[in-house]
A = this chain, B = another copy of it.
Amino acid sequence: MQTAETATNPTVDLGPAAALSCRECGHRVPLGPVFACEECFGPLEIAYDFSAYDTEELRKRIEAGPANIWRYAPLLPVPADVAEKPNINPGWTKLVRADNLARELGVTGGLYVKDDSGNPTHSFKDRVVAQALEAARAFGFTTLSCSSTGNLAGAVGAAAARAGFRSCVFIPHDLEQGKVVMAAVYGGELIGIEGNYDDVNRFCSELIGDPAGEGWGFVNVNLRPYYAEGSKTLAYEICEQLGWRLPDQLVVPIASGSQLTKIDKGLQELIKLGLVEDRPYKIFGAQAEGCSPVSVAYKAGHDVVRPQKPNTIAKSLAIGNPADGPYVLDIARRTGGAVDDVTDEQVVDAIKLLARTEGIFAETAGGVTVGVTKKLIDAGLLDPSLTTVVLNTGDGLKTLDAVAGTGLTATIRPNLDSFREAGLA
Task: Give the CA-CA distance A92 to B67 in the complex, in Å.
Answer: 9
CB within 8 Å of B: which of A19-41?
A: none
Partner of A168, one of B100, B352, B424: B424
A315 located at the interface, meaning its Cβ lies under 8 Å from any Cβ of chain B in the complex: no
A135 located at the interface, meaning its Cβ lies under 8 Å from any Cβ of chain B in the complex: no
A 174-215 to B, binary, CB cutoff 8 A, 1 in contact else 0: 000110111011110111111100011011001100101000
Task: Give the CA-CA distance A400 to B161 in the complex, in Å.
Answer: 19
Task: Give the CA-CA distance A162 to B358 in the complex, in Å.
Answer: 4
**Would you give the shortest CB distance from A347 to chain B, in whole angstroms?**
13
Given contacts A185-B351, A187-B352, contact A361 B409 (CB under 8 A): no
**Would you give the shortest CB distance from A421 to chain B, in whole angstroms?**
12
Q: Which of A228-236, A261-269, A391-399 contacts B (4 or more CB under 8 A)?
A: A391-399
Interface magnitude class on chain A = 35 or more
A403 located at the interface, meaning its Cβ lies under 8 Å from any Cβ of chain B in the complex: yes
**Would you give the shortest CB distance from A163 to chain B, in whole angstroms?**
8
Q: Which of A115-123, A270-278, A289-297, A336-344 contacts B (4 or more CB under 8 A)?
A: A115-123
Task: Give the CA-CA distance A356 to B163 in the complex, in Å.
Answer: 11
Q: Is the pair B206, A406 in contact by a Cβ cutoff of 8 Å?
A: no
A 320-361 to B, binary, CB cutoff 8 A, 1 in contact else 0: 000000000000000000000000000000011001111111
Most buried by B among A100, A403, A414: A414
Given contacts A168-B424, A203-B415, A406-B185, contact A158 B361 (CB under 8 A): yes
A77 located at the interface, meaning its Cβ lies under 8 Å from any Cβ of chain B in the complex: no
**Would you give the shortest CB distance from A87 to chain B, in whole angstroms?**
9
Q: Is the pair B414, A190 in contact by a Cβ cutoff of 8 Å?
A: no
**Would you give the shortest CB distance from A346 to chain B, in whole angstroms?**
16
Q: Is the pair A206, B420 in contact by a Cβ cutoff of 8 Å?
A: no
Q: Is the pair B411, A194 in contact by a Cβ cutoff of 8 Å?
A: yes
**Would you give the shortest CB distance from A82 to chain B, in whole angstroms?**
15
Chain B residues positioned under 8 Å from A109 (CB to CB):
none
Task: Give the CA-CA distance A396 to B158 in the complex, in Å.
Answer: 13
Chain B residues positioned under 8 Å from A395 (CB to CB):
122, 397
Q: Is the pair A359, B397 in contact by a Cβ cutoff of 8 Å?
A: no
Chain B residues positioned under 8 Å from A410 (CB to CB):
189, 191-192
Task: Give the CA-CA distance A172 to B184 in the complex, in Å.
Answer: 32
Chain B residues positioned under 8 Å from A187 (CB to CB):
352, 355-356
Chain B residues positioned under 8 Å from A379 (CB to CB):
none
Q: Is the pair A190, B356 in contact by a Cβ cutoff of 8 Å?
A: no
Residue on B nearest A196 in the bound complex, by CB: B414
A 62-101 to B, binary, CB cutoff 8 A, 1 in contact else 0: 0000010000000000000000001011001010000110
Q: Is the pair A352, B185 in contact by a Cβ cutoff of 8 Å?
A: yes
A408 located at the interface, meaning its Cβ lies under 8 Å from any Cβ of chain B in the complex: yes
**Would you give the shortest CB distance from A161 to chain B, in whole angstroms?**
4
Chain B residues positioned under 8 Å from A210 (CB to CB):
416
A173 located at the interface, meaning its Cβ lies under 8 Å from any Cβ of chain B in the complex: yes
Residue on B nearest A413 in the bound complex, by CB: B194
Residue on B nearest A198 in the bound complex, by CB: B414
Task: Give the CA-CA distance A411 to B396 in the complex, in Å.
Answer: 29
Task: Give the CA-CA distance A425 to B191 in the complex, in Å.
Answer: 12
Q: Is the pair A397, B161 in contact by a Cβ cutoff of 8 Å?
A: no
Chain B residues positioned under 8 Å from A257 (CB to CB):
none
The 6 closest A-B pairs by CB, nearest first: A187-B356, A158-B359, A162-B359, A212-B425, A192-B411, A161-B359
Can you sample 17 A-B contacts with CB below 8 Å?
A86-B99, A86-B100, A120-B359, A122-B395, A161-B355, A161-B356, A161-B358, A162-B359, A184-B409, A186-B359, A187-B352, A189-B409, A191-B412, A191-B424, A195-B413, A212-B424, A395-B397
> Which residue numbers of A lie inside 8 Å of B, CB to CB?
67, 86, 88-89, 92, 94, 99-100, 118, 120-122, 154, 157-162, 164, 168, 173, 177-178, 180-182, 184-187, 189-195, 199-200, 202-203, 206-207, 210, 212, 351-352, 355-361, 395-398, 400, 403-404, 406-416, 419-420, 422, 424-425
